[in-house]
Structure 1
C-alpha cells in the first residue's frame, strides 16, 4: 500500500507513487477513492479514520494511506461494522435489549446482549435474514462527537452504555476508554432518506456503508457471557459471526472450519483410541490409552534425547510442596488465582479428633522453577559451572476454569519439558540464541517449520501491579531478548503486557496445516527469582555475583503439543511417531505364518508392528488399517510368498506390489530413521 503526502499551498496535493493529485476544498476520502471500491478507510498519520474524512482539512505533511478491505485492518473494520448491523437486528427483534460490547475478533466478531431470550438456531437464522435486509438498504455509518452529558441523554435506556460513558471501562469496540481522556463518539446508521435507523456508542472507524458488508457474512453460534467478563455481573447472550470481503472468501473460511472440525483432536483421539477425558476424572485431565501412550512416549523420548545432546542435566522434583516456596518465588502473590487451593498436611490431633497443632499449607505445583532454584542453591557454584542447564519433564497443575479447558490444548494437569539455564549476564545472549536454534530443530523435526517470534513485554501504561522488578532490569532483559531475536532474521511481533510477572518472554508462534497459529516454544529472561532465592556464583575475582535465569520449554506442554500434532496431521502421524508403524495383513489364513515371520524381522529392528489375524474379511482388514491411519500396510498372498515379497499399501491409497521382504524392511527403517513427515516421502518409489 502506498503512502501519500498531503501538502498545502494554493491547493492541497495528494502524492501517490510520485504523482501529484489536486485536492479540492471539500474532497473526502470517499470522493478520492470512488473508483477503488476496495478502499474502505484511511490511515492518517498511522491512525485509522473513516473514509469520509475531509482530506483538504488535514494539515501539511500529513501521511495518508488507503485501507484495503482485504488487509488486516480492513477486515477488522468490516467485522466491527457487521457487529453494528447485528445489534440493530437484535434490537429490532427485542426492543428492550440492553446492548453490551461488540468487538471484532480473529476471523469474526461478537456482540453481547442483555434482557433477550435465549438464542436458538432458529433465532440466529431470523437475525441473519434481518442483517441481510439492513445490508441491502445501504445504510451509511456516520460518526458524531458528543459530550458526556449528551451521551447520557441519548443512551438513557441503555445501562451498560451509560456505565461505559460514566466510568473507566470499555467502549463498544471493547477498547479501553476514559471519559475526559479523548472524544466520546456515537455512530448513526442512516437510511437513504436521512432517517437514523440505529446508533451505538463507538470509537470506530466503520465502513462507509452497510452495502460493503455484502453477502460474505454469517452468524455462527451463541454462548452465555457475563457483563465485563465477571461472573458476579449480569448474565448476557453472546452472538458470534464471521465476515469476509466476498461470498467466495466466506465459503473458503467455512470449508476451513469444517476441516478443523474433522481434525479436532478430541474427535480423533476417540476414533483412533489415543486418549479420553472421562467425566469421572474431571475437566482438564486426560487419560492416555495404549496407542496414545506410545505416541506420547515417542514425543517425550525425542525431546529428552535432544536435551541430553545439548548438555542439559535431568532432574526430578515433587508435584506438591509447602506454600512458603511459592511465596518466595512470587507465584502466590502474583499467580494464586491459577493455582489449585492449598491442601493442609502435618496437622496433629488428639484422641477426640481436635486439632492440637496447625498444619502446613501444601500446594500442587503450577511450575517447576522454584524447585530447580533449590537444586541450584543446594551447594556453592562457581563461574566455571555456568551456564548450568537443568531440565525435567515436570508434571504441573493449574486451576483453569472448567469453562475454558479444551481437550489437550487447555488443561488442568499437564507435563512441561521445562528447563532452566543459570548463567552470567554476559552469557545470556548466546544462551538465548542457542535456545532459539533448539526450538527450530525441534519444531522442524515434527513438521512445524513455519513460525514467527513474539516478544511479550511489560505494559508501561497498564497493570503495573502485575509485574515485579525495576525498570532498569526489565529494560535490559527486554533489550537482550529483542536483539537476539532480530539477529535470527525471523519475523518478530510485539506483545505489550503479555510478559510473565517476573520477566519478558519470547514465544514461537507456529502455523499448522490449516494455517492456524499455536504458541509453542518459549524462552523467558528472569532476573527476579535469582534475587528472591539468593542465588549466587563465585566470579573470577572471588566476589559473589547473581546469575541470570533463563526459562525455556521447547514443546510447551507435552499434552498440548500432542493435541496440535494430532490436528496438524489429521491423526495420520509420520511413521517415526505413529503408535503402530506397520500392519501385516495375510490375504488368507494360509499365509499367517509368512506374515508373522515378516513381522518378526521388523520387530527385531525396533519397528512397532501389528498382525491382523482377526476373522474379518480381507477387504475390511484393509479398510480398518486405512481408518486407523497406519503408515505401512503390508499385504501377503500366494505370489508374494512364492517370491519372498510383500505388497505395500500406503495411507493415500497408493500401492506397490512384489517388494522383496528385505527391501521392504530396509525402506521402512529408512523412512523412520530420517523422520519423514510427508505422505509422499513414505513411498518406496
Structure 2
C-alpha cells in the first residue's frame, strides 16, 4: 500500500505526517472527540473525506464557528427527518444553520401547533439515540431529480448553482457551487437508508454526536424569501455542544424576552404600532415622547457644541433627485413605489443625503466654510418586507439623526478622527460602553460606483481613523454602500448582544454626481469630500436598544417620570403636590399618585413603571419638612429634608447616573 504526505495545520506549527493512501480525516484525528469535521486545503469536509497527497488539513472542533454551523445544520436534517416521519405529506424546503440555531421550511396542509413541535422534538431525540450515520453521495442533476421527484422545492433548487444559490435565501446550504450531493441518513447496524436530503454539507459523522437541542417556535415564511412564492411553515430550533450551554442559551433568551422593547413599550405605555397605520409605523405615547425628546434635545446640544448647523428637508422629492444621487438605480427595491403627481413621479425619501447636497449647492462655497457640518433629524421611509419588520428596530418609517460633513481632502483624516471620538463619546453618555468597529469595503460586482483608487484612499483613511480609537476592528469585505466604504460602531448591551449603532461613510461619488464645488485658497474650483454619518442610526431603533439595554429602567435623566409621590394617606397628597411643584420648577419630572389605591399598591405600581425615585410622605415627614425615598432596588432612606431630596434627584439627572 502506498503512502501520502499531509500537513496538519493547528494553532501551533504545521506538522507533516505520512499516512496510508485512502486515510480519512477521521483517522487523522482519531481519539479527538471534539473534532467533528476538517478543513482540507481550505474546504470544509466531512470526517469521512479521504485525503490526498499534499493536503493541508485543519481539525474543526464542535465549539468553533464552523463546528457550530455543522452541528446545527445536522440537527436541522434530523428535524426534517422527524417531520416527514410524523407528517408524511410534508414537502421539504430548505434548512440552513443560522446564528445560535437553525430552521427548516416545510409545505404542510396546516400550520404546526405547539403539540406538534413537542412530538417532533421527541422523535428527534429517538433519531439521535439511534446514531444514524450521515453519508455523503455525489449525484448528477438527473439522478437528483429522479431521487427527489416527489420534492418540488428540491427540484427547483437543483437548477440553482453559484451566484443564484447564494442569492436564494438559505439555498447555498443545499446546493452552492461545485458538484451536487445527497446526504443519506443510514441505520448504524444494517446500513439501510432511513432518510435523504439534497445538501452541500458537511455534516457530523452521526446523529449521536448531537449533544443538546431544543425546538423553539414555528412561523410562516415565503419560499426563498419572496412574497411572490408559496408560504411555507418554518420551524426554528437551537443546538449546542453541551446541555449546560443549551441551558445558558435558554436562560439568555428568557432574559432577552423580558427586555423585548415591544413588550416593554406596551407595559410602560411608551409607544404602539396600530394596525390602522400599518406594520413598521409607530406612534409614541406621551411617556415615550418624553424619552424621545430628551434624547433628541441632548443630542442637539452636543451637536451645537461640535459646530454642526441644523437644516430641515421635505419628506418627498421628484424622482430626478434620486436618479442623480444613484439611489434609484441602486436602492429602488428599498424605496416605496412612486406617487404620480402633475405628470411626474415623486418618491418618499429613503435617505437625507441628496437633499443635503442641494443645501450645499444652493450658493457658492469657500474653503473658509469647510468643514461644513449639516445636521437633521430627518424622517425617512423604506420598504421593508413584512418578514423582516420588527418593532422599532426594523421599521418602515423612522427618523435618522443624520449628518453630512463636507470637507477638503486634507481635512478628511482629522475630521474622521474627531468624528469617531464624538460618536463614541455621545454613545457613552447614553450608557453604552462596550464597542468594536467594523470596516465595510468595496466588493466585486457592478453595484459599486467610482474609481478603485478613490475607494482605496477612502478605505485607508477610515482604517487609520479607526486605529486611533484603540478598539477591535473587524473587516466586512464587500459590505460597503454603493458609493463608498464605511465604519460601523458595534455596541454591546447589558446582556452582551451586539447592535450596529453609528455609521460613518466616506463618499467621493455624490459630490461628483451633484457637481458640488468650493473655491479653494488659490481661486480654483475643487470638489469636496462628503462624509455621511448617522449617530443613532435612527431615533426609533436607538430608543429600542436603550429600552432593552436598561430593561425599561431608564436612568433618571432619560426616565419619563423621574419621581412619583406616594402618600401614606389622602391627607398627605397636598404636601407631596407642593414637593412636585418645587421639582417641576427645576424642570424635574415628578408626579403624585393620588389614586384611591392603598399605599403598598401605589409602590408596586411605581415599581412596575420602573420609576427611579419613590417619594413617600406621612405625618412625621410633614412635621419635619422631609420626605422618605424608596429606590428601585427596594432600599429606602427616611427623613430627608425636602431641599436635600430635590438636590439628590437633580444631581442624579445632571450626572446621568443610574440609581
- What interval of TM-score do these two structures reach, taking the shorter chain for normalisation? over 0.9
In the superposition, the TM-score normalised over structure 2's length comes to 0.93
1:513 is matched with which residue: 494, 497, 511?
A: 494
State whether residues 80 and 173 of structure 1, in contact with CA within 8 Å, keep that contact through their aligned partners in structure 2.
Answer: no
- 1:310 and 1:230 mapped to 2: Cα distance? 45
Matched, 1:541 2:522: yes
- 1:280 and 1:15 mapped to 2: Cα distance? 59
Post-superposition offset of 1:500: 1.9
Specify the alignment match of 1:379 in structure 2: 363
Specify the alignment match of 1:132 in structure 2: 125
Per-residue CA deviation, residues 201-241 of structure 1 (Å, 9 max, x unaligned), is 22222112111113x21122222223322233333222211
Give the 3-state SS of the residue equivalent to 2:536 in structure 1. Answer: strand
- 1:376 and 1:18 mapped to 2: Cα distance? 57
Per-residue CA deviation, residues 526-580 of structure 1 (Å, 9 max, x unaligned), is 1111111100112223221111110001111101111111111111101110011
Post-superposition offset of 1:77: 1.1
- 1:174 and 1:527 mapped to 2: Cα distance? 35
Matched, 1:337 2:333: yes
Matched, 1:200 2:200: no
Specify the alignment match of 1:184 in structure 2: 180
Give the 3-state SS of the residue equivalent to 2:183 in structure 1. Answer: strand
State whether residues 484 and 508 of structure 2, in contact with CA within 8 Å, keep that contact through their aligned partners in structure 1.
Answer: yes
- Structure 2 unaligned spans of 5+: none
Matched, 1:672 2:653: yes
Distance 1:58 1:480, change over 3 A: farther
Deviates more, 1:600-609 or 1:303-312: 600-609
Distance 1:471 1:584, change over 3 A: same
- 2:171 and 2:474 mapped to 1: Cα distance? 20
Per-residue CA deviation, residues 260-301 of structure 1 (Å, 9 max, x unaligned), is 222221221121111111222222211111111111100101
Matched, 1:251 2:247: yes
Matched, 1:618 2:599: yes
Per-residue CA deviation, residues 492-543 of structure 1 (Å, 9 max, x unaligned), is 2233333222222221222222222221111111111111110011222322
Post-superposition offset of 1:115: 5.2
Give the 3-state SS of the residue equivalent to 2:537 in structure 1. Answer: strand
State whether residues 188 and 199 of structure 1, in contact with CA within 8 Å, keep that contact through their aligned partners in structure 2.
Answer: yes
- Structure 1 unaligned spans of 5+: 1-7, 348-358
- 1:41 and 1:315 mapped to 2: Cα distance? 57
Distance 1:178 1:525, change over 3 A: farther
Specify the alignment match of 1:104 in structure 2: 97
Specify the alignment match of 2:640 in structure 1: 659
State whether residues 102 and 173 of structure 1, in contact with CA within 8 Å, keep that contact through their aligned partners in structure 2.
Answer: no
Give the 3-state SS of the residue equivalent to 1:556 in structure 2. Answer: coil
State whether residues 453 and 509 of structure 1, in contact with CA within 8 Å, keep that contact through their aligned partners in structure 2.
Answer: yes
2:297 is matched with which residue: 288, 298, 301?
A: 301
Specify the alignment match of 1:274 in structure 2: 270
- 2:242 and 2:385 mapped to 1: Cα distance? 38
Alignment of 1:58-207 (within 5 A): 58-59=53-54, 62=56, 64-114=57-107, 117-168=110-161, 169-170=164-165, 174=170, 176=172, 182-192=178-188, 193-207=190-204
Alignment of 1:286-325 (within 5 A): 286-325=282-321
2:380 is matched with which residue: 382, 386, 396?
A: 396
Alignment RMSD, CA only? Answer: 2.6
Give the 3-state SS of the residue equivalent to 2:37 in structure 1. Answer: strand
Post-superposition offset of 1:45: 4.4
1:427 is matched with which residue: 411, 422, 425?
A: 411
Alignment of 1:247-646 (within 5 A): 247-345=243-341, 347=342, 359-460=343-444, 464-646=445-627
State whether residues 173 and 200 of structure 2, in contact with CA within 8 Å, keep that contact through their aligned partners in structure 1.
Answer: no
Give the 3-state SS of the residue equivalent to 1:519 in structure 2. Answer: strand
State whether residues 145 and 186 of structure 1, in contact with CA within 8 Å, keep that contact through their aligned partners in structure 2.
Answer: yes
- 1:39 and 1:661 mapped to 2: Cα distance? 66
Per-residue CA deviation, residues 568-613 of structure 1 (Å, 9 max, x unaligned), is 1111101110011111222223333332333233223221111222
Alignment of 1:230-245 (within 5 A): 230-245=226-241
- 1:494 and 1:450 mapped to 2: Cα distance? 18
- 2:48 and 2:72 mapped to 1: Cα distance? 19
Aligned residues: 652
- 1:167 and 1:590 mapped to 2: Cα distance? 77
Post-superposition offset of 1:662: 2.7
Distance 1:58 1:207, change over 3 A: farther
- 1:597 and 1:224 mapped to 2: Cα distance? 55
- 1:621 and 1:384 mapped to 2: Cα distance? 60
- 1:497 and 1:180 mapped to 2: Cα distance? 19
In the superposition, the TM-score normalised over structure 1's length comes to 0.89
State whether residues 468 and 502 of structure 1, in contact with CA within 8 Å, keep that contact through their aligned partners in structure 2.
Answer: yes
Per-residue CA deviation, residues 390-431 of structure 1 (Å, 9 max, x unaligned), is 001111122223443222112121111000001122322222
